[in-house]
Amino acid sequence: MKLFISVIILTAVLLGTAPPGFGAVAIEGVAFEKTFQAAATQLHLRGVGLLRYMYFIKAYVGALYMRPQDDASQALASAPRRLELQYFHAISAADFAEATTQKIGDNVSPEAMASIQERLKTFNALYRDVQPGDRYALTYLPQRGTELSLNGQPLGRIPGDDFAAAVFAIWLGPEPIDEDFRDTLLGVR
């Protein structure tokens, strides 16, 4: 009987359906922890999703972390949050910079874009080429700014609530890279 229960728990963990607070959640063979400690703030996994390009190419998987008391409407507010993205394909730093600028422009007003322009240039210069299996993370903490890291190594931090809202809008805003991906990360789908 103990073996049977152990097999069921192991299967649940591997499929990402383990009970809350137990292990990690896996999607497409990629594991995401259920919590993340950002300075003094513990963030909890809100949702995980798969982003497909042209409906059939698996581009990357992602996980969104927020405080338990924050709801989906606060994903672009000045609340702490973290987004992790693990890639299935090689992508150049130049492609990241171009896509970041374009998607932020799709989600913010021209005035807002002008106000973050210099910080966006600094942010885009942080990008590195990625290979399959690499993981970028964006972590926003009020008064500290938005940190970009690659495979757990910090690359830099950009100040401003407005900048955080703009960069997270790429995935969570009104014109996200993919609406299903956004809704899955936010836990509303």
Q: What is the DSSP letter of 91?
A: B
**The tokens 């998987």 sit on which residue?**
61
Cα–Cα distance, 47 to 49 (Å, whole number): 7
pTM: 0.86
In order of 44, 57, 59, 93, 130, the CA distances from 54 in angstroms are: 30, 6, 10, 21, 20
Weakest mean pLDDT among 16-20, 79-83, 91-95: 16-20
C-beta of residue 139 within 8 angstroms of C-beta of residue 150: no
H or E stretch covering 184: helix 179-186
Map out the domains of the chain with their CATH numbers: 24-186 (3.50.70.10)
Summary mean pLDDT of the chain: 89
* Amino acid at site 45: L
Token pair for residue 64?
Answer: 């969104």
Contact (Cβ atoms closer than 8 angstroms) between residue 78 and residue 164: yes
Spatial distance between the Cα atoms of 186 and 29, rounded to a whole number of angstroms: 21
Query: What pLDDT, in 10s, does the model give residues 93-147?
Result: 999 999 999 999 999 999 999 999 999 999 999 999 999 999 999 999 999 999 9
**pLDDT band per the 50, 70, 90 thresholds, residue 78:** confident
As a whole number of angstroms, the distance between CA 71 and CA 46 comes to 9
